[in-house]
A = this chain, B = another copy of it.
Amino acid sequence: MFNDFKLIDGRPVYIQLKEYLKRMITNGHLLENQKLPSTRELSTYLSVSRNTVLTAYADLEQEGLIYAVKGKGNFVSQVETFNAPSIQLNWKDKINGQTHLADELDLMKHGVRWNHDMISFNSIAPDEKLFDVENFKRAFLNRMAIEGNIVLNYGYARGYKPLIEYLLHYMEVKGVDIRNKDILITNGFTEGLDLLLSSIHKKNGRILCENPTHHTALKLFRLHGFEIEGIDMEDDGIDVSKLESSLSKKEYDFAYLIPSYHNPTGIVTSSEKRKEIMNLFSAYQLPIVEDGFNEELRYSGSHLAPLAAFAGAGNNVIYLSSFSKILFPGLRVGWILADKDLIYYLESMKRARTIHTSTLDQAVLFQYLNDGCFEKYLKKAKSVYKKKYELAVHSCLQAIPYKRITGDGGLHLFLQLENNIDSRSLLEKCSQKGVVFLPGDVFYTDDSGKDTLRLGFSRLKEREITQGIKIIGDTLRNDFGG
C-alpha cells in the first residue's frame, strides 16, 4: 500500500498526497474506519516532510474524508461509493442529424493525416515565431495593474467596453459610417457568423456566396440548413453578371462575401466591383454579410475600403472580423459591426449561449492595440509574409503546370491544375513524399473544384516553400504527365 505514490514536478507535494489519498478513499481502496499510518510513519515511508502529511491529513479531515480520534490517530470516514447498476447508453444513436453532419464536415477529423516532419501547406494561421510575446506580456501586466479584479470577473455580453470603443473608432477610420451602428464582441469570427445564422429569420432559406468560399462558413451554412448558391470568381472578384442573374431569378436571405484576400482564392475584389455589388444589393434591398478576413494584410497598392464603408448610412452590411488571423488566434476575439437594432438582438443570443467573451482576452487585446503594438507588429508581419508570398508565387510559376493561379497577397495561393487532374490523387502521391496541402473541393458550394488546391505558406520556412512546391510540381510531371 502507498507504493504507487509518485510525485510530479511543479505541483505542491501536500496537494499530490491529499489527492492520492482522496482517490484511494473514493475508489474504495481505503475502507471505512480503516486506520491511516501516523504522520511520522507516512512521511518516512514516502520520503516527504512530516508537515506535508500533516497538511494533507488536515485538508482531508476538513473535507470530511477522514476523522481524527484523539490519542488513536486518523481513520477513513464513511464515504458513499455506491455504484448504481451500471448502464451503457449508445450515444451515437442519441446524436441528431446536424451533429452527424458537423462530424462529417469536420476537416480536422477527416483530413489527410500528416506529421510535423512533413511540409504542410494546410494552414493559413499566422507564424507563431513572429509573435510579439514581449509586448503581449507587457500589455497583460499593464492591464492587470489598471483593473486586474475587473478583468477577472464577469463582464458584459456586448463586450469589454474599452475594446468596443476602440473597434468603433477603428472601423470609423476605415471609412465606415458608425452612426446607428453598434458592435458585439464574439469568440472569433466563427461564433459571430454562427450567432447571426442562429438569429435571423430564414425567410427563403437561401443564400449567395462566392464559389469557392471559406470552408468554415460553408459548414455553418449547411449546418443551419441553408440552400447555397455559389457564384464564380473572376480575377477581380465575384462575377457580377452571374450574381445579378441569380438575384433576378430567385429570392435570397443574404449574401456572404469576402472582399479581401478571399479564402481560398486570395483574390481582392476591386473597388469598381465593390461599387457594383453595393448598387446591386441596394436595388434588391438585401443584406450582405462581409467577412473582413485579413483585410489588414495588404502588402501594397491603393487603399480599399470595406463594403461596410461603401454602404454609407445604409444598414444592410453586417461586418464580421477578428484580429486572430494575423495577431493571436489563441485569443478568441472577433466582432460584429452592424445596425444597432440587429446588435441588440444578437446580444441576447450571445448571452444565452456563452454569457460573454473572455474579459481577459478582450482586455489584454485592447491594451495591446491601444499601445500601438499592433501597428508595429503588422509592419514586421507584412514584410515577412510579403517575402514568403513572392517566393511562393515565383516557385509556383516555375514548378507547377497550372491552369489558373490566384492570390493577390495574404497568406495563401489557390491553384487550378491542368487537364482536370484530381487534387486528391495528387495529394495522396505528394503526402508519400512528405508534402500536404488542402484539396480545393472542400471550399466549393457544388461538386466542382476537384482540380484545385490551396497552398498556405504563412507558417513555412522559405526553404520549405520552394522545396514543397517543387515536390508538388515534380509529382505532377512524373505521376500525372502534367
Residues of A within 8 A of B (CB): 10-12, 15, 19, 22-23, 26-27, 59, 62-65, 77-100, 102-103, 105-106, 108-109, 125-126, 128-129, 131, 133, 136-137, 140-141, 144, 148-155, 157, 169, 172-175, 187-188, 190-191, 194, 198-203, 216, 219-220, 223, 271, 274-275, 278-279, 281-283, 285, 287, 298, 300-305, 309-316, 328-332, 338-339, 341-342, 344-349, 351-361, 364, 370-372, 375
Contacts and interface: CB of A to CB of B under 8 A. Distances in A.
A328 B64 contact: no
Nearest to A166: B11
A341 to B, nearest CB: 4
Nearest to A382: B62
Contact of A201 (B82, B95, B157): B95
A89 B375 contact: no
Contacts of A359: 330-331
A100 B283 CA distance: 28
A279 B82 CA distance: 10
Given A62-B300, A105-B352, 4 more contacts: A79-B175, A84-B311, A137-B140, A191-B353
Nearest to A180: B88
A131 B149 contact: yes
Nearest to A11: B370
11 contacts: A12-B372, A15-B372, A26-B303, A64-B301, A81-B309, A85-B282, A86-B313, A102-B348, A108-B157, A128-B152, A332-B355
A220 B355 contact: no
Nearest to A314: B86
Contact of A149 (B92, B133, B141): B133
B87 A314 contact: yes
A48 to B, nearest CB: 14
Contacts of A152: 128, 131, 133, 136, 328-331
Number of copies of this protein chain within its complex? 2
A213 to B, nearest CB: 16
A282 B91 contact: no
Contacts of A148: 131, 133, 136-137
Nearest to A199: B99
Given A282-B85, A332-B358, A355-B332, A310 B80 contact: yes
A216 to B, nearest CB: 8
B354 A188 contact: yes
A282 B83 CA distance: 10
A219 B26 contact: no
Q: Give the interface centre of A95, A216, A271 by most chain B CB atoms within 10 Å.
A: A95
B190 A355 contact: yes
A372 to B, nearest CB: 4
Nearest to A102: B348
Contacts of A62: 300
A354 B190 contact: yes
A84 B314 contact: yes
Contact of A153 (B64, B316, B328): B328
Contacts of A133: 144, 148-149, 152
B315 A155 contact: no
